[in-house]
Structure 1
Amino acid sequence: MSRERRRRARTHRESNGVNTFARTVGGAVGSQFATAVLATMTVPGATVPPVAGHSTSFLIAAVAALLGAATMPLLRPRPTAPIPTTTG
């Protein structure tokens, strides 16, 4: 296996690990945050949260997703020119 293929394979494994970590943490934090919003908006004695609680949770999640999408281009590394190799 060439050095370039090994580097690509390692990079692919690292990106899969980061993706899994981000999805796990994001799912945990997001569900806890939505639960807190729903619990806060539930009237004492009611058995279910109001529709406004669900709407607020989805609105907050949409704003967070848009902020994340807007910041992604700023976090990506800039492409660099390849380093010339010499054969000899």
Structure 2
Amino acid sequence: MSFRKTFFQRQLDDDSSSDDDDYVMMSSALLMNPFSNVERKQGGSVPGHAGIYRDRESGHNRMFQDYLADNPTYGPQIFRRSEDRQQSRC
């Protein structure tokens, strides 16, 4: 932290950075620095809403077993029939 203060202090005290723009930039950087280290509370995607555990990994494992495994729960005949029904609706 002391390195940052000395760096900014040197920039403010330097004769070449006496422009108002440089002063404003350094001042705003010093003001925003304490806010950049604040960690947010982990929660849902909307602040204030709770996150819901949906066990997505188990859902993925069930879908893989049902359709893509070497010995799937729903074989090609069942999968093909449901696929045919979806195509006839379009």
TM-score interval (norm. to shorter): under 0.3
TM-score in terms of structure 2 length? 0.27
Larger Rg over CA atoms = 2
Q: Structure 1 length normalisation: TM-score?
A: 0.28
